Each structure stands twice: as structure tokens, then as C-alpha cells.
Chain A
């Protein structure tokens, strides 16, 4: 029997993602070591750390998108989302990825119209009625703060939008699946400062309804957006806590060295 995560709907609760002693490897090369962390519901949690520290690997564990990488495997530990261990073999991966949406660094809309991008996944999920799809598209585009900009050209190519608009379309596409959790891997890395601020403002709106986990190299972005910040280094979670505390009085000298751009 395949476990459907929707059997356990996301009621407002303290912890959305419960990570315990997580170890992960690519073939024989360890990438994550004993990561233990609780990611709170309807808050923005930012992962920071130097390249190769494992933050994107950890993010991809939350919707098991790592499963697609040959040789990538969990070696120990557990991840519970809304109380369910997502690494169980009977987990419905399609449902998991619907509930745990993902937005990538490089915006990647389909070569379709704006409207078709948003309704693509719900339609695959079985929603066929035009009125329902229309409503879903409008809601998702409004949530992604894109509706006013595209409502008169929904059936034109998504690729004609600006970079910032394309990324917000990708967020709308994830929202259309009615997820509980949104994972964002460097969502603003390819955007100009204005588009970046629009996405950041959007995150503040979205966290009222979704748990957001973001990976960023931009520490100013983490300080502006995140309620909690977790610092990773060499596959280990070094320190996590309220963002203001991490950026004003970090407890760990490695965190201090990283956030202040020092070496020692």
C-alpha cells in the first residue's frame, strides 16, 4: 500500500519538518553528517553556508528529489513531514512532491503559455473542469503577486516574461499544487535587485500559508527574509536559531567566521 501524505493533513503545528541524525551520501562520499533540526511551520527557514556544505542536498532530501541522482542515498536518520517518515519505501513520491513544492535557482517555466504552466500539474492530478482550473490559476498567480501583470496575456508564452516574472510564475506553479511546504534553492540568484526584492516581499506574504525553506548564499537576503537561519559547513549543521541571534551573537566560532567573511 502506498502511503498518501494527505492522510495526514497539515494542521498548524510547531514543526513542519522533523530531521533526526540524518546522514546522506553520494555513492561512498558522505554529504551530510548527523543533521538534526526541527523546521517550524509557517516560518521561513534559511540555510546558509559555503558551496558544497550540503545545504542544497539537505533541501532536496525534503521532497526526495535526490532519489533521481544515481548513487545518492540516505545512510542513516529520518525525516518526518507532518508526522510521516518520508523515506519509507511506501511513500507516494508524487504526492510528497505535490505537498513539498520546489523552486529552483534558474527559473524554468515550460515552453507553454503562462496559464498552461500554472495548470499543468493540477490537470495531471486529475482536475479537468475549465472553471476549476481557471480559478486555480488565478489564485496561484495572485498568491505569487503576478496576476495583475499577466491577467491580460495568460495565453501568451511564459518565456516572454522577464526573469523575475518567470521565477514568480514558477512559484505560482508550485503553489497551484496546493503544497504545505515550499523549498527554494537560491531562488533569486539569477535575478536583478528589484526582482529579488519582489520575491523577498512575496516570501513574507507566502509564509502566512506555507512553510518556506530557502537556501541562499546571500546573507543579506537571509537577514531580511528568514525567521530562522541554519549554518552548515562540511555536511554538518553547525548552528541554527533565530536569524537575528545568528547574525548578531552566533555561538559557534565557525558561524561567526562565515557570516563576518573571516577566516581563521
Chain B
């Protein structure tokens, strides 16, 4: 429903536009960082590192606009949740972009030291992490609380893949002839992708809060009550 005060609508629209732009740049940074890694493309890695300042600037704009809405319009209900959720989502996006930059920097280092054919092992993990980020932002754009809530279960698969890959990479690192720092870089890249999954889950949780006013954070970490032993 439009607001009577048109400036209010404009400010809300700007907030959403900044956040969606930030999400688009972040996704692009992640895509390009992985391409830089997989194709040993140094120029692309440098592009990602430079583009991070755009994400930082957009994070500032989201916060400034959100604060302006809080001060000027005293939002309530859906509008209030939109401002809070958008500001928190932007923090998660900024961290994701930082991870993308980390991946790009490590891609550059791997290329400069000892390029490995095995960088391709990272791809399934990346595909999964990218899908989580895409779904998280789709849940925001499409007001899809169910999609937002579903991300936690999908993140478990990412965690499983991460554990598996880390084990494999560690084995390579421990080999007598495998002491290359590149294996260590790949372990850290895998860790970044796993964190991107967690941050995407955070975004999904914010969308659930935004759309249905439910706080589902930390729910999956609640201890399950001990099961009673079967009575004799």
C-alpha cells in the first residue's frame, strides 16, 4: 500500500534499490572471483578486488537511508521490519563480498606461485554456495518466507561438502611432495564458500522476520530434549 507521504515511499524504494544493487554486485563479485580462480584470470581477480569498494559504498547508503527512514518517518509494522531486515541483510552481503575478495586474492596468489589443476574440486562447493546466495536474495525480492526458511536445510549439504573437500585438501597438503601453499589457499577458499552459505542462511532468516514477523535465528541450534529410554 502506498504511503500518504510520498517521500516515505521514495525513501523505502531507495532502500530496496540500494540493497538489490548491492546484492547484484556481490553476486557478480563472487562469480568473477570463482572464474578468476578456475581460469587463472588475474585481471578478473583484480576487478573483483576493486569492485568491493562499490559494495562498501552501497552498505553505507543502505544504512544512511535506513536511519533516515527511522528518524523521519517512524516506521511501524511491515515498514519497520523492512528497514531493520534490509540493514541487517546489507551487513551480510558486505561480508559475502569480502569473502569474494578473499577468494580473488587467493586466486591471484595460486596463479603466481603454483597453479593447480585441482582448483576444479572447489566448483561443486561454489555451485552450492552461490545457489544459497541466489535463493536468499530471491526470497527477499519475491517476499518468499518459505524459501528463506528452507535455506538452513540446504546449508547442511554445503557443510557436508565443505568437510569432505577440506579433508581431501588436507590430505594433499600433508603429502611429502605436496607442501604447496596453493593447497592451503584452496582450504581457505573452501572455508570462505562455507561461510557464504552461513551468511546466506542469515539473509533467509531476516526475510522470514520481514515477511512473517517470526524470529527463527538460532532455532536449529536449540538442543533437542533427550529421548526417554524405552520402558521395559
A residues at B contact (CB < 8 Å): 219-220, 223, 247-250, 256-257, 259-264
Contacts and interface: CB of A to CB of B under 8 A. Distances in A.
Looking at B5, B8, B78, B213, the one whose CB has the most chain A CB atoms below 10 A away is: B78
B77 A256 contact: yes
A224 to B, nearest CB: 11
A260 B213 contact: no
Interface of B: 1-5, 8, 73-81, 213
B77 A219 contact: no
A220 B1 contact: no
Given A248-B213, A249-B213, A263 B2 contact: yes
A249 B73 CA distance: 18
A237 B51 CA distance: 54
B81 to A, nearest CB: 8
Given A247-B80, A249-B213, A263-B4, 12 more contacts: A219-B74, A223-B76, A247-B76, A248-B213, A256-B1, A259-B76, A260-B75, A260-B76, A260-B77, A260-B79, A261-B5, A263-B2
B74 A220 contact: yes
Contacts of A219: 74, 76
Contacts of A220: 74
A264 B9 CA distance: 13
12 contacts: A219-B76, A247-B77, A248-B76, A248-B80, A256-B77, A259-B77, A260-B1, A260-B3, A260-B79, A261-B73, A263-B3, A263-B4
A260 B78 contact: yes
Contacts of B3: 260-263
Give the 6 A-B residue pairs with the shortest CB-CB distance, closest first: A264-B1, A262-B1, A247-B76, A249-B213, A259-B76, A262-B3
Looking at A223, A247, A256, A260, the one whose CB has the most chain B CB atoms below 10 A away is: A260
A220 B80 CA distance: 13
B216 to A, nearest CB: 15
Given A248-B213, A249-B213, A261 B4 contact: yes
Contacts of B4: 261-263
A263 B9 CA distance: 12
B2 A249 contact: no
A253 to B, nearest CB: 8
B7 to A, nearest CB: 11
Contacts of A259: 76-77
A261 B75 CA distance: 9
Given A248-B213, A249-B213, A256 B78 contact: yes
A226 B120 CA distance: 61
A32 B182 CA distance: 77
A220 B76 CA distance: 10
Nearest to A248: B77
Contacts of A247: 76-77, 80
B71 to A, nearest CB: 12
Contact of B1 (A223, A249, A250, A263): A263
A262 B80 CA distance: 14
A260 B76 CA distance: 6
Contacts of B213: 248-249
A261 B69 CA distance: 13
Contacts of B1: 256-257, 260, 262-264
Contacts of B8: 261
A247 B77 CA distance: 5
